[in-house]
Chains A and B, each alone.
Chain A
Amino acid sequence: MRKYLKYIYIFVFITVAYLLLPVMNADYLYTIQDNNVFINGHTFMMETVQYEGGWLTWVARYLTQFFYYPWLGSTILILFWVAIYWMTIWMFDIKGKWSFLALILPMLLLYHLLDYGYWIYYAKIPGIPFRLTLTTIFCLLFTWGVLLLTRRFNFSWKVKGLIACSLLMLILVIGNWLWPTSLWRYNDRFRHSILTTLTDKNFKHELRMYRALDEFRFEDVVKEMPQEGEEAPTNLMVLYKNIALMHTGQMDKMFETGNCGIKPEVSDSLHIRISLLGAPLIYYMFGQINYSYRWAMENSVQYGLSFRSLKMMIRTALFNQEFEVAAKYIAMLKSSTFHRQWALEHEAWMMNSTNFYQSQDYLTIAPLLENEENRLDGDDGLCEQFLLEYFSDLSHANTPLMEDVTLCMSLWAKDYYAFCVHFYDYVHSNPNRPIPPLYQEGAILLGNAEESPITLDGFRFDDLVANKYNSFVQDYNQLQQQGVDEQEMGRRLKPLYGNTYWWYYYFYNDFNIY
């Protein structure tokens, strides 16, 4: 039995690794791949290898692209870890029950990969999953070579162990001196984010929502929203969800489907910014083509080029009819292994404008472009705030989609002056269209407010909405007379009115833009 222990240990490790990687965290691994880039060809290779540790980066980037299929990338990575396990056993001549010691390095590497959490967006050195693994293999091979050379001295396993450990330490010190910029610096510490990766449901929702939105699977985006009683969604999830509602003609359902986002709590000093997590796609989905391009570029400069950014730059260049620069990005993406097909499809859009005008991208985004005039502005890195202010301030909404967007964004931003302007425009331009309940809720609330900017004379609201508002006011006043504090009042009224704009207006005051 003892001689089989080393096989049992590695079998258990492989099983656990598969469970933790492609089975439970496929979206995490896919996103790591999406934030990576590898372009076949001389220019990209030379661009990568010219820096210290460049060859390691190049190989790590090459291997990371296989996480396009998370099981494939995981298999390659686990094979490396199995190799590390056996090398350690052979090097230290570990036998029997002590074989588990050889799992220390693979377990640390597994932990290290899962320890990124939100850091997958912020890590500046590419090839996260393979860098440290390749470095470890390099160190072990070197140490193993030295041990083979000293074999004729017939050292005991203790001496061999001492030599191996000393050499590994030496390599670490020399490596730090030789490759100070890239080999060690970013990988030599734990980030305390493994709980985010493994247990933070919102983090996982965000990963899935991004991909679904990117692929125009709007129904899947909405399905990711947590149910009543579950953890509150993040602002980013609310944004993604509202975009999906917007493009399925249901933006007026935004408060029924949960609109009270929170800022993710991360366990270290990481400053989470929506601009990095998803701004290029969010701006794109709102028809803000230049800003989408801008953030794809900004993120590339700050955190390195990625497939994700490259794709957004292609899409925006096509919308802006900047075909030469689009061709440049497409040529790059065509030289990738797994994103080639995507590039070919978009090249066809460029070659034949009919293809483009029939594409889902164009059909989805174009209605948001029609009445946009150029504005010189800035978002100060706060994508959500910019969008809320931009659409609230927009003076004319001349498509049905833009009417919905301007109304909903002004409600979302609690900008009631802007809402009133858009509400009047809406009613005048749609005299025969029933007013959706959400806009009625907004109008009734603001119409009854002190110093109201809106007059309700001449408007007829649904009895259902009007009665519910009266009931809300009655319940609210009753709780207020009982001396119930604001927070408790919100909690008590939520079951009845949590899906109304009124509840959002009065009780969602923790709008933490990030």
Chain B
Amino acid sequence: MKNILSIAMIAILMAACGQHLTVPTDVTMENRLPHIYPDYTEVTVPANICPMNFIVQEGETDAMARLTYPGGEYIYGDGQKVLIDEAQWQEMLDSAKGQEIKVEVFAKINGQWKGYQPFNIYVAEDSIDEYISYRAIQPSYVAYERLSIVQRNLTTFDAHDIYNNMSVSNEKVGQCINCHSYKNFKTDNMLFHMRQGYGGTMLVTNGQLKKIDLKTAETLSAGVYPAWHPTHNLIAFSTNKTGQSFHTKDLNKIEVQDTESDLILYDVDKNEVSIISELEDELEVFPTWSPDGKKLYFCSAHFEYYNDSIEKSAEMIQRYQEVKYSLYSIDFNPDTKEFSNVQMVYDAASDSINQSVTLPRVSPDGRYLLFAQAEFGCFHVWHADADIYMMDLQTKEVQKLDAVNSNRSESYPTWSSNGRWIMVDSRRDDGNYTRPYIAYFDKQGKAHKPFLLPQQDPNFYTFYLRSFNRPEFMIEPVTISPREFAAKAKEDAIPAKYADR
């Protein structure tokens, strides 16, 4: 009996071992790279990123990949998918830091194995912030409701809601959630804004959650695009009167336009709002601080309404292609909270450039400034011609980041806390859904080919009908639960006071 059991056990073990993958010997080589999704060929990845699972798109076939690293090799294959074991991947990253992992892909087509040109995944010495957060939203127009702010651990595949809008919505009451923002990549000081329904700004200061109403009689709106001051309890916001209109044929489909916009400063400790800039004929928006907190960058478009017979919004729709934003800065004294000396940083709207700049972000070392640029307007996520550009703040030289861009929309550029990684929102996959692409930015100031945020199931993006809107790096997770946010959302907002500057 014992012998029978032993034989059975050995048979089971052998069967299990039989599933161990080996690279086929009879292979016809193709003189090209394999078609894989996401495209991880020749990308540079952080030393702590989660496994780069991918799917082989060489027809509906069996496929496998051999990953060779300085310490050895592993082979993976699961139908068309290449799903990498997390522990083995970490072993590969540790071993290949500063070097590369070679990937050879094989696909069985009509019973015959084919091999493709190998490619490398370069492993940087630098790690990446452990978390990102993004607004998960369908690429919608005016409707809102089914949206949430999600935090994703980049070293694993864990993703959780920070706040889910459906937790406080019903058939009668709904609200939209807007930009989320963190102070110095940490989450003990953070915010996101909600409008309509249970509207208000959900503000976390030193771990304490409050709901504030930033709209005052003297300001255009509540705070919209936020920027936390890096050293003081201050937040710069834009205030916007925003409208949307829709193309009947253009594949950009939608224009989001500000008929008016200004900049305000919110003093968290005093719960006071004051005006930074509200120039007539200027549409100021997208504030962002320099790392030392002594300069506020922002975008502004000069736009004069000259048709009194129609509403501003109607005129804006008629002249939407004339709205072009340039990049400015204004000096700030954090101690006196005084602004002074507005300067043109990049005259994108000038005749010679004739473009529109949005969403500036300064690198943590203060040397570089990223922004999104397109032909006109402020909402480049819907502009297929939008690309990421970078200004060297020392030389004032502006360059298009060709390695990062595609022939579709790129927007929302942002830096990791160590300045070695750039994340952008890109619609390169299908033109409609934004996905977070992460690119290595080396010490020489060169951006490398970006990679799509890896998912456990490489088919994830095919079946996921939401955009990753406004992705932001975080060095720690948000610990306030979605339920706490929801409970606070239902409370009345504390009105902010207005202070004359």
Chain A interface (Cβ within 8 Å of chain B)?
A: 39, 41-44, 47, 50-52, 122-124, 180-182, 185-186, 288-291, 293-294, 297-305, 320, 322, 324-325, 327-328, 331-332, 335, 372-379, 390
Nearest CB to that of B463 among chain A residues? A43
Whether the pair B171, A124 counts as a contact (CB closer than 8 A) is: yes
Contacts known (A124-B145, A297-B140); A378 close to B246, Cβ less than 8 A: yes
Using Cβ atoms and an 8 Å threshold, which residues of chain A touch B433?
A: 325, 328
Q: For residue B308, give the distance in angstroms from its CB to the closest CB of chain A.
A: 21
The 7 closest A-B pairs by CB, nearest first: A43-B463, A324-B430, A374-B249, A298-B143, A325-B430, A301-B143, A301-B140
Chain B interface (Cβ within 8 Å of chain A)?
A: 137-147, 161, 164, 166-167, 169-171, 174, 244-251, 253-255, 317, 320, 429-433, 457, 459-460, 462-465, 486
Q: How long is the Cα–Cα vector from A47 to B170 in the complex, in angstroms?
A: 19
Using Cβ atoms and an 8 Å threshold, which residues of chain B touch A52?
A: 167
Nearest CB to that of A50 among chain B residues? B161
Whether the pair B145, A181 counts as a contact (CB closer than 8 A) is: no
Whether the pair B431, A376 counts as a contact (CB closer than 8 A) is: no
Q: For residue B477, give the distance in angstroms from its CB to the closest CB of chain A.
A: 16
14 contacting pairs across A/B (C-beta < 8 A)? A39-B463, A181-B166, A291-B246, A298-B142, A298-B143, A300-B140, A301-B147, A322-B430, A322-B431, A324-B429, A373-B249, A374-B248, A374-B249, A377-B245
Whether the pair B170, A301 counts as a contact (CB closer than 8 A) is: no
Whether the pair B457, A372 counts as a contact (CB closer than 8 A) is: no
Q: How long is the Cα–Cα vector from A325 to B171 in the complex, in angstroms?
A: 30
Partner of A325, one of B249, B250, B432: B432
Q: For residue B284, give the distance in angstroms from its CB to the closest CB of chain A.
A: 24
Q: How long is the Cα–Cα vector from A312 to B248 in the complex, in angstroms?
A: 16
Inter-chain pairs besides A288-B248, A328-B433, 4 sampled, C-beta below 8 Å? A290-B251, A291-B248, A297-B140, A374-B250
Whether the pair A305, B465 counts as a contact (CB closer than 8 A) is: yes
Contacts known (A299-B143, A301-B138, A372-B249); A43 close to B171, Cβ less than 8 A: no
Q: How long is the Cα–Cα vector from A293 to B465 in the complex, in angstroms?
A: 14
Using Cβ atoms and an 8 Å threshold, which residues of chain B touch A302?
A: 143-146, 174
Whether the pair A43, B169 counts as a contact (CB closer than 8 A) is: no
Q: How long is the Cα–Cα vector from A296 to B69 in the complex, in angstroms?
A: 47
Using Cβ atoms and an 8 Å threshold, which residues of chain A touch B137?
A: 301
Give the interface centre of A42, A122, A390 by most chain B CB atoms within 10 Å: A42
Nearest CB to that of B254 among chain A residues? A294
Q: For residue B457, give the distance in angstroms from its CB to the closest CB of chain A.
A: 6
Using Cβ atoms and an 8 Å threshold, which residues of chain A touch B465?
A: 300, 305, 332
Using Cβ atoms and an 8 Å threshold, which residues of chain A touch B251?
A: 290, 320, 322
Whether the pair A51, B164 counts as a contact (CB closer than 8 A) is: yes
Using Cβ atoms and an 8 Å threshold, which residues of chain B touch A290?
A: 246-251, 253
Contacts known (A39-B463, A291-B246); A304 close to B430, Cβ less than 8 A: no
Whether the pair B171, A44 counts as a contact (CB closer than 8 A) is: no
Using Cβ atoms and an 8 Å threshold, which residues of chain B touch A43?
A: 457, 459-460, 462-464
Q: For residue A335, give the distance in angstroms from its CB to the closest CB of chain B.
A: 8
Whether the pair B246, A372 counts as a contact (CB closer than 8 A) is: no
Using Cβ atoms and an 8 Å threshold, which residues of chain A touch B244?
A: 378
Nearest CB to that of A42 among chain B residues? B457
Q: How long is the Cα–Cα vector from A293 to B138 in the complex, in angstroms?
A: 13
Nearest CB to that of B248 among chain A residues? A375
Whether the pair A186, B171 counts as a contact (CB closer than 8 A) is: yes
Q: For residue A495, give the distance in angstroms from its CB to the closest CB of chain B.
A: 42
Nearest CB to that of B313 among chain A residues? A378
Give the interface centre of B169, B247, B460, B486 by most chain A CB atoms within 10 Å: B247
Partner of A331, one of B140, B250, B253, B462: B462
